[in-house]
Structure 1
Amino acid sequence: MRGRCHRAGRAARRRRQKREHSTQPVTLCHQQQYVRLMKFLHQRGFTSSLLQPALFTDTGRALQTLKTIKPGQLIISLPESCLLTTSTVLDSYLGPYIKSWKPRLSPLLVLCVFLVCERHRGEASDWFPYIDVLPTAYTCPAYFTDDVMSVLPISVRRQALEQREAVQEIHSLNQDFFKSLQPILTQPVEEVLTYVALRWAWCSVNTRSVFMSHPSNNFLAGEDIYALAPFLDLLNHQPDVQVKASFNDGTRCYEIRSVSGSPRYQQAFINYGSHDNQRLLLEYGFVTPCNPHSVVYVDTDLLCDVLSGDRSLVQKIKFLGANGFLHNLTVSSEGPSWRLMTALRLLSLPQTLYHHWKAVLLGQAVCEEREKWSIQTAGTLCQRLLQDTHGALEKISHLLQQCDQSVREQLDVVKSLRQEERCILGNCLEALEGMLSQPYNLLSYQPDVVR
């Protein structure tokens, strides 16, 4: 009996611990915002019996499964009338202003201006139930302060600054068009179509739209591929999930079909693409834990700094650039990428072996001494990147102690990215040590090894 009581007590403790460690999602269905949204969508022909909006502790707002989803099952079918596209805008009160404007406007700008104007109209807007559930701010680089920019990896920082500048340019270059819209606004245009408002709209479209190709027309310039999809855009990304998503010309609905299925009462995910966390941060403003696609990028400036003593470095860098070997030089938890090691093997060669440079880029092996040098240099690059990561994490910790909530959210995303980098670089260094300890194999001792 004593033994049985002991087992029962242990089982009870396990159940209690499981309850404490597992947090249940909180349904959002009864909140007024989502009641309005679902009513808005139902009036346009959408129904959903498989998914409901819910709040998850790890990912925030999302969609929760109400039933077990089987492999191949259709999980969302959103009618065309629920999609916000450039056709929606051209058929609205903005249509005459857009159609008559020269030069023609981009589809992205048209959608952004519509979102800003509809947000300005408030509850008078037909699209208010959707706009009301959109985030009020984003953790995309366009929102980053200078302090947050400063703790990004160099390769990301450059692109992040370009994103911020691109949004600023869109706002500054379209002032005349904005002023033409004054007749439909109840406030001065400079108080409505501000940079802050346009940035919000740009991030809304960039992070939440689905791909949907539209036929070209005589009113817009450039490729028209955006569609904002209410309710559907609550689906979060998970890299190992497989779905089929596209607009069905037969049903005139945007459809998402599960490939592998999903258990009941769990979060339903889709896959935004095989993106590493740097790309996810730049495009969507988040990073994914344990992302199998994640890598750390080796910037050309770092490469040049580490190898600054090589007198022929400039010529080698030009050669690598001309042959497309200065982009996507990366390391992962498994070790340096093939592209990085190939570039390093070429960089190990003296200028006197210039006639072998092309062959090395095509896969020709180098001698043991140069291979060892390439591995050691990869280790030096990792060490330098690791130092930068540690420094950034220390600065982030300091900034987190003195920032407001909006900046804190930005820093938390960058912190997650940097922590993942630290893990990747540590694992890569271990892999490189293993490579150095293994007997060298000259690709089966090919006779044309560069010595």
Structure 2
Amino acid sequence: MGRKKCHPSAKCKQHPSSNKKISPPKRISPAKRSEINVQCEKLFHLSSNPAYELQLWENYGEILAILEKVKRLEEMKIDASKRSEGIDHFVKWLVDNGANVDGVSVAEFPGYDFGLKAERNFTEGQLILEIPRKLIFCTQTAAPELSVLQNDPLVQHMPHVALAIALLIERHKENSEWKPYLDILPNQYNTVLYMSANDMIELKGSPTLEASLKQCRNIARQYSYFNIYFQSSQNLVSDLLREVFTYEEYCWAVSTVMTRQNRIPNEDGSKMIFGLIPMWDMCNHEEGKMTTDFNRISDKCECYALRNFEAGEQIFIAYGARTNSDYFVHSGFVSTENEQDGFKLRLGISKADPLRKERIELLGKLALPSNDEFLLKPGIEPISDDLLAFLRVFSMRKAELEHWLHSDKVLDLKHVDCALETAIEENVRRFMLARLKLLVANYPTTLEEDLAILETTLTRHKKIIVRLRVAEKKILKGALEYVEQWIKA
């Protein structure tokens, strides 16, 4: 009873990050500040108007054009200082504040940037790390100044946004007690916020393109919102961030949160909150079981070895059940061995369907939405029970809908061997075959071509994108073979 699971939400530094630091800009001239404010007003309109959601790619291009102007006006400068210089100070800070990091160290690993190294042998299930609550960066332990924004709608209703602003507060205030941790964080990431339009176009045909564009749109809206707010408000946080808040600063803070945030119980255990767990968040991902708990009795995050680790080896943890699309958008990596992967297939009941009311009612009895994303899974059973049931309802005629609406065995529709009219099952299979072929054809390249591309020299971002395409196409290929065999049977 003393332990609650600590849930990795979206954390990873699975691929190399730049060691260059983005320094805050010098004081911006009134003329440039005025132009930035004008551009932010345009940016807020572009990223907030729902009409633009029907033209996401065009909207993304317009947003990028404004952001390029903003970044030039904000005069971002690059500092060549190294994260590695802060490691010793960081570890000392951890130990001085009650963390147990005995037997592990921070080290660089080829292909991973920084990670945790075993300094001695660990056996599966053995305790590796203990991080006390007071060292976990969250809105309860850091940036008390944030309380002046407690009624702000973004801060109030979006915990990850609140955490990002808290990071910026601690980064820019004098004598922050979190400086040893902030100095060890990556200075740039591989999230979609750092990708160019040339990178993004490589996602053509992938359902992940829409999610990526929406993510960039959302962050642009948040940046413009806070820029306008800090320039027009008089309070402690605005005074601190007014001259140093830039788009790239916000991208850094948001990406830090996206790639490292985790859910832990709050102090009284009444709810789960988001936090950043120093040292533990240096671990990179490996497929396996979840081995991190939050011990309510000791009030510490505890990490156990997911397998045996020998001295000198990198220590990995499992981040939990997430698709590669989610990893890509929020964490900037793709897991080639992801057993929890899935291809997001959006399906819905048309508003023009004359049987729409009956279909939605039957879907309600199955606890299924009328418009949602379903996952095609890798492996021998790519079509889930929920997806199968949706497709059956989608394919029914009026008589079948009326029959199942009054049946006390409606949940049988989720079973493969449910006794259904042959015509319905044939419609389901034909629909899936046509849809899968269309999804495969949407990509400009084939699976074989992408595998060949991976053997060439690629930029960091393009390599991640091609890996994602390969993972998606393998799932589609498996599902297509499954449906073809299903039709033959």
TM-score normalised to the size of structure 2? Answer: 0.67
Q: Percent identity?
A: 22
For residues 143 and 320 of structure 1, the distance between their equivalents in structure 2, rounded to whole angstroms, comes to 44
Structure 1 residue identity aligned to 2:372: H
Moved over 6 A (4+): 182-186, 392-397
Contact 1:296 1:421 survives alignment (8 Å) = yes
Corresponding position of 2:488: 437
| Greater Cα radius of gyration, structure 1 or 2 | 1
Structure 2 residue identity aligned to 1:238: E
Structure 1 residue identity aligned to 2:488: S
Corresponding position of 1:130: 181
Structure 1 residue identity aligned to 2:309: S
Corresponding position of 2:377: 332
Q: Deviations over 1:325-369 (max 9, x none)?
A: 543423233232222222222333323433135456642432334
SS at match of 1:89: coil
Counterpart check, 1:213 vs 2:213:
no
Structure 2 residue identity aligned to 1:413: I
Corresponding position of 1:239: 287
For residues 191 and 395 of structure 1, the distance between their equivalents in structure 2, rounded to whole angstroms, comes to 48
Q: Residue 297 and residue 209 in structure 1: after superposition, are their counterparts in 2 closer, same or farther (change >3 A)?
A: closer
Per-residue deviation, 1:421: 1.0
Structure 2 residue identity aligned to 1:432: V
Contact 2:143 2:169 survives alignment (8 Å) = no
Say which is worse superposed, 55-64 or 202-211, in terms of deviation.
Answer: 55-64
Counterpart check, 1:168 vs 2:216:
no
Counterpart check, 1:413 vs 2:443:
no
For residues 334 and 92 of structure 2, the distance between their equivalents in structure 1, rounded to whole angstroms, comes to 32
* Correspondence list, 1:22-41, <5 A: 31-41=84-94
For residues 209 and 113 of structure 1, the distance between their equivalents in structure 2, rounded to whole angstroms, comes to 14
Counterpart check, 1:266 vs 2:313:
yes
Q: Deviations over 1:26-73 (max 9, x none)?
A: xxx994232232232233233423222233334332212222222331
Say which is worse superposed, 350-359 or 334-343, in terms of deviation.
Answer: 350-359
Contact 2:204 2:444 survives alignment (8 Å) = no
Per-residue deviation, 1:315: 5.9
Contact 1:239 1:274 survives alignment (8 Å) = no
Per-residue deviation, 1:254: 1.9
Q: Residue 109 and residue 278 in structure 1: after superposition, are their counterparts in 2 closer, same or farther (change >3 A)?
A: closer
Per-residue deviation, 1:227: 2.0
Corresponding position of 1:13: none
Say which is worse superposed, 320-329 or 280-289, in terms of deviation.
Answer: 320-329
Q: Residue 181 and residue 38 in structure 1: after superposition, are their counterparts in 2 closer, same or farther (change >3 A)?
A: farther
Counterpart check, 1:230 vs 2:317:
no
For residues 31 and 141 of structure 1, the distance between their equivalents in structure 2, rounded to whole angstroms, comes to 25
SS at match of 1:240: coil
For residues 357 and 477 of structure 2, the distance between their equivalents in structure 1, rounded to whole angstroms, comes to 32
Corresponding position of 2:331: 284
Q: Residue 233 and residue 370 in structure 1: after superposition, are their counterparts in 2 closer, same or farther (change >3 A)?
A: same
For residues 30 and 351 of structure 1, the distance between their equivalents in structure 2, rounded to whole angstroms, comes to 65
Corresponding position of 2:167: 115
For residues 67 and 152 of structure 1, the distance between their equivalents in structure 2, rounded to whole angstroms, comes to 46
Corresponding position of 1:59: 112
* Correspondence for 1:87 among 106, 116, 140: 140
Corresponding position of 2:29: none
Q: Residue 89 and residue 311 in structure 1: after superposition, are their counterparts in 2 closer, same or farther (change >3 A)?
A: closer
Structure 1 residue identity aligned to 2:431: T
For residues 434 and 386 of structure 2, the distance between their equivalents in structure 1, rounded to whole angstroms, comes to 17
Per-residue deviation, 1:181: 5.3
The RMSD of aligned alpha carbons is 3.9
For residues 115 and 81 of structure 1, the distance between their equivalents in structure 2, rounded to whole angstroms, comes to 16
Q: Residue 88 and residue 387 in structure 1: after superposition, are their counterparts in 2 closer, same or farther (change >3 A)?
A: same
Structure 1 residue identity aligned to 2:460: E
Corresponding position of 1:388: 442
Q: Residue 433 and residue 268 in structure 1: after superposition, are their counterparts in 2 closer, same or farther (change >3 A)?
A: same
Corresponding position of 1:295: 342
For residues 348 and 114 of structure 1, the distance between their equivalents in structure 2, rounded to whole angstroms, comes to 50
Q: Deviations over 1:99-156 (max 9, x none)?
A: 486558435444323322443469x544333222212222333444445445266643
Structure 1 residue identity aligned to 2:395: S
Per-residue deviation, 1:89: 2.6
Contact 2:105 2:119 survives alignment (8 Å) = yes
Contact 1:89 1:111 survives alignment (8 Å) = no
* Correspondence list, 1:45-56, <5 A: 45-56=98-109
* Correspondence for 1:193 among 232, 245, 249: 245
Structure 2 residue identity aligned to 1:282: V
Structure 2 residue identity aligned to 1:170: Q
SS at match of 2:255: helix
* Correspondence list, 1:8-23, <5 A: none
For residues 318 and 337 of structure 1, the distance between their equivalents in structure 2, rounded to whole angstroms, comes to 19
* Correspondence for 1:250 among 293, 297, 301: 297
Gaps of at least 5 residues in structure 2 are: 1-81
Q: Residue 291 and residue 383 in structure 1: after superposition, are their counterparts in 2 closer, same or farther (change >3 A)?
A: same
Contact 1:297 1:330 survives alignment (8 Å) = yes
Structure 1 residue identity aligned to 2:436: C
User: Size of the alignment, in residue pairs?
Assistant: 385
Corresponding position of 2:474: 423
Gaps of at least 5 residues in structure 1 are: 1-28, 217-221, 439-451
SS at match of 1:212: strand
Per-residue deviation, 1:177: 4.9
Q: Residue 355 and residue 30 in structure 1: after superposition, are their counterparts in 2 closer, same or farther (change >3 A)?
A: closer
Corresponding position of 1:442: none
Say which is worse superposed, 76-85 or 384-393, in terms of deviation.
Answer: 384-393
Contact 2:142 2:170 survives alignment (8 Å) = no
Contact 1:79 1:253 survives alignment (8 Å) = yes
Per-residue deviation, 1:289: 0.8
